[in-house]
């Protein structure tokens, strides 16, 4: 569990406490006392006392509201260290509302709230808050944070927004590193900006390049230990129509599986199955199931494994489907699949059924 040391008031009470509006001495002493408790890991006590003080002061004058904001920040720090990033983020949001006239501090809290909400899984709100903070910084916004937002937007599959922030990131970066180039490539591909994708990959490669040049570029990327780049090159060439043979199709799948983009492989397989471009047999369905499994797409992976097991009628496939369902908390699915595997003579299914029956979830 990550301990949040980033909330910036820790160690800065002297300057903050004497910032405008000035705080009474007893409030400063109380804040210092709670800071000491925080250092001593008395998190629950800090949350309780800071909350009481923040509530008491929030409706008062400007000094009271500033003190209330500082108490909310203390509570946020304690909650974050207890592994409650969502609650901590809510406290920082309240602190920002109370921090009238303290724009610099409110901006710092905004940035920290964004990170906390990301940790709490509130990804859309986190990205929006970080974007708000970056906009408030103007040209002073650090490039590292601009790249961070770009990456967050990619993770959220907000492709057009990611493309917009990518341009800002690149404008702040003289020479993008390998990770940044890969990120740019993903964005350019997803937003159909083929020319920009090619620029990121190889300056001498363009839409007019023939199949030989695309194959050579992909092979070079593989030999350089960059399977993700190789998959991206092959994918671009496939979409441009430069690679269109049946063997090229399967090489595209293999490269995406090896290059860390199994979801892309699965998407292609599903598209081709629907169009009738490939045969719906055990080999294809097994490849599809493994692709969604590797991509950690639980729903699609389970559906693909069920389809495979139904087609193959193999006990081992039903068992593997059941094992995956059990690992992902789908106990009802797991029980049905493992029972089917047992009926088909799989010699490991009974042991897995026993494990399922003994699990705490199963007894609920």
Lowest-confidence region among 74-88, 148-162, 335-349: 335-349
Of 119 and 20, more confident? 119
pLDDT at 167 over 90: yes
Lowest-confidence region among 221-230, 254-263, 303-312: 221-230
pLDDT at 13 over 80: no
Taking residues 149-168, what's their average pLDDT? Answer: 96
Percent of the chain residues topping a pLDDT of 90: 68
pLDDT at 6 over 50: no
| Contact in structure between 256 and 232 (CB atoms under 8 Å) | no
Taking residues 142-146, what's their average pLDDT? Answer: 96
pLDDT at 19 over 60: no
Q: What is the pLDDT of residue 346?
A: 86
Taking residues 95-124, what's their average pLDDT? Answer: 92
Q: What is the pLDDT of residue 20?
A: 62
pLDDT at 96 over 70: yes
pLDDT at 362 over 60: no
Of 325 and 162, more confident? 162
Spatial neighbors of 82 by CB under 8 A, at least 6 apart, are 43, 44, 47
Categorize the per-residue pLDDT at 212 as very low, low, confident or very high, splitting at 50, 70 and 90: confident
| One-letter-per-residue 3-state SS of the chain | CCCCCCCCCCCCHHHHHCCCCCCCHHHHHHHHHHHHHHHCCCHHHHHHHHHHHHHHHCCCCHHHHHHHHHHHHHHHHHHHHCCCHHHHHHHHHHHHHHCCCCHHHHHHHHHHHHHHHHHCCCHHHHHHHHHHHHHHHHHHCCHHHHHHHHHHHHHCCCHHHHHHHHHHHHHCCCCCCHHHHHHHHHHHHHCCCHHHHHHHHCCCCCCCCCHHHHHHHHHHHHHCCCHHHHHHHHHHHHHHCCCCCHHHHHHHHHHHHHCCCHHHHHHHHHHHHHHCCCCCCHHHHHHHHHHHHHCCCHHHHHHHHHHHHHHHCCHHHHHHHHHHHHHCCCHHHHHHHHHHHHHCCCCCHHHHHHHHHHCHHHHC
Taking residues 252-259, what's their average pLDDT? Answer: 96
Q: What is the pLDDT of residue 10?
A: 42
Q: What is the pLDDT of residue 291?
A: 96
pLDDT at 363 over 60: no
Categorize the per-residue pLDDT at 100 as very low, low, confident or very high, splitting at 50, 70 and 90: confident
Q: Is the whole-model pTM more than 0.75?
A: no
Taking residues 120-133, what's their average pLDDT? Answer: 96
């Amino acid at each position: 569990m990550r301990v949040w040391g980033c909330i910036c008031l820790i160690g800065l009470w002297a300057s903050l406490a004497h910032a405008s509006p000035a705080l009474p001495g007893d409030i400063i002493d109380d804040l210092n006392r709670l800071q000491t408790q925080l250092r001593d890991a008395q998190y629950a006590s800090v949350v309780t006392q800071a909350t009481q003080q923040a509530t008491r002061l929030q409706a008062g004058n400007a000094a009271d509201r500033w003190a209330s904001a500082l108490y909310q920040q203390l509570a946020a720090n304690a909650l974050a260290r207890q592994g409650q990033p969502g609650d901590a983020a809510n406290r920082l949001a309240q602190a920002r509302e109370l921090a009238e006239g303290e724009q610099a501090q409110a901006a710092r809290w905004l940035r920290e709230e964004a990170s906390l909400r990301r940790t709490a899984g509130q990804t859309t709100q986190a990205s929006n808050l970080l974007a708000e903070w970056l906009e408030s910084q103007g040209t002073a916004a650090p490039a590292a944070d601009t790249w961070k937002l770009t990456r967050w937007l990619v993770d959220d599959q907000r492709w057009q927004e990611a493309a917009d922030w990518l341009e800002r990131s690149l404008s702040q970066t003289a020479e993008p590193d390998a990770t940044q180039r890969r990120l740019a490539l993903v964005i350019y591909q997803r937003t159909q900006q083929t020319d920009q994708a090619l620029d990121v990959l190889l300056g001498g490669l363009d839409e007019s390049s023939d199949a030989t040049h695309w194959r050579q570029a992909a092979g070079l990327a593989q030999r350089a230990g960059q399977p993700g780049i190789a998959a991206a090159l092959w994918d671009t060439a496939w979409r441009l129509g430069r690679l269109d043979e049946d063997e090229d199709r399967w090489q595209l799948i293999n490269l995406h599986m090896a290059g860390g983009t199994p979801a892309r492989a699965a998407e292609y397989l599903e598209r081709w199955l629907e169009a009738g471009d490939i045969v719906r047999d055990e080999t294809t369905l097994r490849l599809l199931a493994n692709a969604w499994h590797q991509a950690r797409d639980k729903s699609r992976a389970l559906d693909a494994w069920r389809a495979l097991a139904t087609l193959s009628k193999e006990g081992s496939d039903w068992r593997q489907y059941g094992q995956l369902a059990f690992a992902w908390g789908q106990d009802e699915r797991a029980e049905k699949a493992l029972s089917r595997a047992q009926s088909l003579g799989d010699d490991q299914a009974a042991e897995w059924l026993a494990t399922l029956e003994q699990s705490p979830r199963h007894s609920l």
